[in-house]
Structure 1
Amino acid sequence: MTEQDFDADGLFDDDYLHFFAEPLDDRADAETDLIWRLLDLEPGMEVLDLACGHGRIANRLAERGCRVTGLDATPAFLERARQDAEARQAPVTYVEGDMRSLPWERRFGLVISWFTAFGYFDDEDNRRVLAEAARVLAPGGRFAVELNNRDWIIRNFQPASIIEREDDLLIDQRTLDPLTGRAVTERTVVRQGRVRRIPFYVRMFTFTELRDWLLAAGFRTVTGHGDEGGPLTPDSRRMIVVAQT
């Protein structure tokens, strides 16, 4: 699959929210607790949620007193995020934009990229995202990336999965490309009698590879954690990588 085959607009749309928003919201409180504990957050801290989606983490961090900015490229996600923030009376600044070109400089104490929100570009642009995260952090600031652990994926690879929501279906058929390090997916959405197909991929990383990319992007130290912030092992389904400027 080439970059031209990646249907980003088709991937991140109302169908995505239909199938994923509710289960993601169900786990958002626990994930916010983990972020708060693992990263030693405090009220008043300036936080950027990079690829914030529909605001499930950003709004909860704002409720706890952080000064939160959320950036995403999908207007529908941002509109839902703003509505939820208003309902919660949680002040969050939401910005439509591209994570490869951020409109800030040395501003944030923390940048987060949660739930595999990193890895959707070619390697050059993925590296550019890391460099941009480093650039917008204040001295001593941290960048936390939560994503799949490639070691676990390789050992537990599932070539297909199905999600049902009432009469609607989301079917993913996957392959692994060892030449690019990508999990390549052909997604079929069957909703309200309409069928459409969305090709996409996501870059997978071992800790050591992503660590080296982060160091090359200008970060000074990088640490790795597994599920729930515990030790990172081959049995960790998820990986949290924390880099400091």
Structure 2
Amino acid sequence: MAHDLLGDFKAYSLAGTEREVRFITSVLNLPTGAAILDLYCGYGRHAIELAKLGYQIKGVDGTQDFLDIALQKAKEAHVDIDFLQCDMRLLSFYQQFDAVINMFAAFGYFSDQENADVIKLVAQSLRPSGLFLIDLLNRDWMVRNNLNRYWRHPNGEYVLSYKVELQNGIATMKRQLINQVTGNKIQYEFVLRAYSLPEMTNILANSGFKILAAYGGFDGRTYSAETPRMIILAEKE
């Protein structure tokens, strides 16, 4: 499961995280102490910064190794966060949160029906009028742009190649990290269902959500076919 598709070299920079958290808090506009579920929180970088701001945070991820790192980082940051290992298809919360966030393309890895069922479980987790912020890759932008990338780490030790093939709404992502010193290679491949905004509008509506806004990036720009991200803010009706 991918949490940051380019994360090997970005290393979740503090500046990037701070910008993203500013965006999250701005669009959610919730009072301090509000309960937020970070769904598929990965290493906990958003969860930890949100907890520092006084929000009650619960972090859920399907990978225990990620949660172990998140827990250690939370301890180092002196914040109290409840982390839970759980497949998002098995969420069992009921009207417990004021908001749910799902960041960095952590949605769309199952069948269409399972993906839709996840949204229903998100709705079940939220209190009335609760907010759902979901960050997706923009399929329309992907169609128009070559997503293949190649990075060399500044110290020359690592090289990352990143290739994406998009066909019929299915994105196949292949990532290879090469240690130039040892020659070791780490390869990843995962498949993501890339949804259009009309498709997401329908899926969300079927789970009782209405879309309040769609953004094209963490700078708050309006979503369009020319923005690489599709960040949707929806409200439970």
TM-score by length of 2: 0.89
Residue type at the aligned position of 1:120: Y
Name which of structure 1's ranges 141-150 and 43-52 shifts more when overlaid on structure 2.
Answer: 141-150
Name which of structure 1's ranges 169-178 and 116-125 shifts more when overlaid on structure 2.
Answer: 169-178
Corresponding residue of 1:197: 187
Corresponding residue of 1:233: 224
Q: Percent identity?
A: 31
- Residue 164 of structure 1 and its aligned partner are, at CA, apart by 3.1
**1:33-73: CA deviation from partner (whole Å, max 9, x where unpaired):** 01111110221100000010101100000000000000011
- The alignment's C-alpha RMSD in Å is 2.0
1:106 is matched with which residue: 95, 98, 120?
95
For residues 77 and 20 of structure 1, what CA distance do their matches in structure 2 show?
A: 17
Corresponding residue of 1:51: 40
For residues 24 and 15 of structure 2, what CA distance do their matches in structure 1 show?
A: 16
Matched, 1:244 2:232: no
Whether the 8 Å CA contact 1:186–1:200 is kept in 2: the answer is yes
Corresponding residue of 1:84: 73
- Residue 122 of structure 1 and its aligned partner are, at CA, apart by 1.8
- Residue 24 of structure 1 and its aligned partner are, at CA, apart by 4.6
Matched, 1:75 2:64: yes
Corresponding residue of 1:186: 174
| Paired residues, number | 229
Residue type at the aligned position of 2:187: R
Corresponding residue of 1:120: 109
For residues 211 and 140 of structure 2, what CA distance do their matches in structure 1 show?
A: 22
Name which of structure 1's ranges 164-173 and 232-241 shifts more when overlaid on structure 2.
Answer: 164-173
Corresponding residue of 2:22: 33
Corresponding residue of 1:164: 152
For residues 26 and 169 of structure 1, what CA distance do their matches in structure 2 show?
A: 23
Matched, 1:217 2:207: yes
**What SS does structure 2 have at the residue aligned with 1:145?**
strand
**What SS does structure 1 have at the residue aligned with 2:41?**
coil
1:66 is matched with which residue: 51, 55, 70?
55
Whether the 8 Å CA contact 1:214–1:222 is kept in 2: the answer is no
Which runs of no fewer than 5 residues in structure 2 stay unpaired? Answer: none
- Superposition map of 1:134-145 within 5 A: 134-145=123-134
Whether the 8 Å CA contact 1:229–1:240 is kept in 2: the answer is no
Whether the 8 Å CA contact 1:215–1:222 is kept in 2: the answer is no
TM-score by length of 1: 0.86
For residues 50 and 25 of structure 1, what CA distance do their matches in structure 2 show?
A: 20
**1:167-187: CA deviation from partner (whole Å, max 9, x where unpaired):** 223322221112xx1111222
Corresponding residue of 2:82: 93
**What SS does structure 2 have at the residue aligned with 1:229?**
coil
Matched, 1:173 2:147: no
